[in-house]
Amino acid sequence: MSTTAPDATAPDETALVEQFEQVLARHDRIEPRDWMPEKYRATLVRQIAQHAHSEIIGMQPEGNWITRAPSLRRKAILLAKVQDEAGHGLYLYSACETLGVSRQELTEKLVSGQQKYSSIFNYPTLSYADVGTIGWLVDGAAIANQVPLCRTSYGPYGRSMIRICKEESFHQRQGYELLMTMMRGSDAQRAMVQESVDRFWWPALMMFGPPDDDSPNTAQSMAWGIKRDTNDELRQKFVDMSVPQAERLGVTLPDPDLVWNAERGHHDFGQPDWEEFRAVVTGAGPCNAQRIAHRRRAHEDGAWVRDAATAFAARSSAEPVETREARA
Ligand SMILES: [Fe+2]
Ligand SMILES: [Fe+2]
């Protein structure tokens, strides 16, 4: 019998593609067991992994201030926030695992620099005001990016985003409330807030990725329903949202070109330094090496926990059911 004979039971690829596209056209979800084009799967793995890594690396800049929080209340809030980010990373690694990649593989790709994370986390946190600014602007930008992802076409990704977005909104409020408290304080505190906003405004705008005409993956990702808005649309939404918040706070956003355009019904604004963005994304930011070294060390230090959990799971599944039940 010839091994090249077509298998009569295998559905042909054209029918599968058609089915896949019908699901997208209905704005329905693609689930892990559904057929999907290899490129769709690879794009999702890249995007979800990058997102998961950002949550995990994103714990470091703020974690830097946990031991130096100015009060017990601020420490409790910051601890809860950083812990939420760990949870976000874990949901997203799980979503990525449904696409056939192991967490081990993802971690190795992060620490070897093969997969990226958001450029924003390669900037240092120099004062406690940065905790507030990160909550307000960085979590704010994350919300603008992520709310549309609740409707993304891949089921496990969209569902994990729903809970994540609720927590991000708490993060943004705690940041804004911290900055508002400092703005009502002394001149030195107000200066600290302004200095922090000056450093984080442009990197926050970079979080939406390069301009649309320099973003080769956007069109395909939108056609697949993975992305719902372009980078520039999201950046505009974020600027329009942040301007009145900055006014209420009493801080100046460091952009001389920022002005309301009544004709467009949006703010005009300047462009971030895209050269700096490219440098930070490709590893030359102020903290890239430090962030990865810290992550690698934490992963190595945790090896015994993984070994113990694996040994325990193996022993439990080898035991007769009665022994397991008796112990429980
Ligand atoms: Fe998060
Ligand atoms: Fe957050």
Task: Tell me how far apart the alpha carbons of residues 238 and 257 are, in angstroms, rounded to a whole number.
Answer: 16
Sign of CA dihedral 202, 208, 213, 217: positive
Distance 51 CA to ligand 1 centre (A): 9
Q: Amino acid identity, residue 264?
A: R
pTM, whole model, 2 decimals? 0.90
Distance 134 CA to ligand 2 centre (A): 9
For the chain, the structural domain boundaries read 19-291
CA angle 282, 60, 198 (to 5 degrees): 70
Task: Tell me how far apart the alpha carbons of residues 322 and 84 are, in angstroms, rounded to a whole number.
Answer: 38
Q: What is the CA radius of gyration of the chain?
A: 23
126: number of CA atoms within 13 Å, CB side?
12
Which of 244, 269, 246 minimizes the C-alpha distance to 257? 269
Q: Which two tokens stand for residue 275?
A: 């050269």
| Cβ density class 92-119: b for 16+ within 10 Å, e for less | bbebbbbbebeeeebbebbbeeebbbbb
Distance 167 CA to ligand 2 centre (A): 7
Task: Tell me how far apart the alpha carbons of residues 164 and 225 are, in angstroms, rounded to a whole number.
Answer: 19
Ligand nearest to the CA of 160: 1
Distance 273 CA to ligand 1 centre (A): 25
Mean pLDDT by 10 residues, the chain (328 residues): 53 88 91 94 95 97 96 97 96 96 95 93 97 97 92 94 94 97 98 98 96 85 86 96 98 98 97 95 92 95 95 88 70
Task: Tell me how far apart the alpha carbons of residues 91 and 159 are, in angstroms, rounded to a whole number.
Answer: 10
Residues 6+ apart with CB under 8 A from 89: 52, 53, 55, 56, 59
Distance 139 CA to ligand 2 centre (A): 5
pLDDT at 318: 86
Distance 137 CA to ligand 2 centre (A): 10
Helix (H) / strand (E) containing 266: strand 266-268
216: number of CA atoms within 13 Å, CB side?
1
Task: Look at the block and give the residue holding tokens 């470091």.
Answer: 60
Residues 6+ apart with CB under 8 A from 69: 75, 78, 128
Distance 168 CA to ligand 2 centre (A): 4
Say if residues 52 and 93 touch (Cβ distance below 8 Å).
Answer: yes
Q: Reduced to 3 states, what is the DSSP secondary structure of residue 260?
A: strand
Under DSSP, the state recorded for 136 is I
Q: What class does CATH assign to 19-291?
A: mainly alpha
Ligand nearest to the CA of 89: 1
CB within 5 A of ion ligand 1: which residues? 55, 85, 88
Distance 84 CA to ligand 1 centre (A): 7
Ligand nearest to the CA of 54: 1
Bridge-partner residues for 261, per DSSP? 266
DSSP assignments along 58-121, one per residue:
THHHHHTTGGG-SSHHHHHHHHHHHHHHHHHHHHHHHHHHTTT--HHHHHHHHHTTSS---GGG
Which of 233, 96, 226, 92 minimizes the C-alpha distance to 168? 92
Which of 236, 246, 235 minimizes the C-alpha distance to 267? 236
Helix (H) / strand (E) containing 261: strand 259-261
208: number of CA atoms within 13 Å, CB side?
26
pLDDT at 327: 67
Distance 55 CA to ligand 1 centre (A): 5
